Amino acid sequence: MEYQAFIRAVEERTDLSTADEADDAVGATLVTLSERIPDQEAQDLASQLPTEVGSYLTIADGSTSFGFDEFVARVLERETVTEIDERDAAVEHAQAVIAVLLDAVTSRESDDVLSYLTRDYERLFEGVDPEEVWGPGWRERLGEAG
The full set of domain ranges for the chain reads 3-141
User: Whole-angstrom Cα distance, residue 49 to residue 33?
Assistant: 14
The verdict on domain 3-141 having CATH code 2.130.10.10 is no
pTM higher than the cut 0.75: yes
Q: What local confidence, expressed as pLDDT, does residue 144 receive?
A: 64
CA distance to 33, 84, 146, per residue, from 79 (Å): 14, 7, 26
Number of helices (H), then strands (E), in the chain: 9, 0
User: Whole-angstrom Cα distance, residue 7 to residue 20?
Assistant: 9
Q: What local confidence, expressed as pLDDT, does residue 100 receive?
A: 94
Q: What local confidence, expressed as pLDDT, does residue 111 receive?
A: 86
Q: What local confidence, expressed as pLDDT, does residue 2 receive?
A: 95
Residues with Cβ within 8 Å of 25's Cβ and at least 6 positions away in sequence, in order, are 10, 14, 16, 75, 79, 81, 93, 94, 96, 97
Each residue's pLDDT expressed in tens, for the chain with a length of 146 residues: 899 999 999 999 998 889 999 999 999 999 999 999 999 999 999 999 999 999 999 988 777 889 999 999 999 999 876 555 588 889 999 999 999 998 899 888 888 888 888 889 988 888 777 777 667 777 777 776 65
CA distance to 54, 81, 115, 121, 140, per residue, from 21 (Å): 17, 6, 29, 24, 34
Q: What local confidence, expressed as pLDDT, does residue 56 receive?
A: 96
Residues with Cβ within 8 Å of 7's Cβ and at least 6 positions away in sequence, in order, are 19, 22, 23, 26
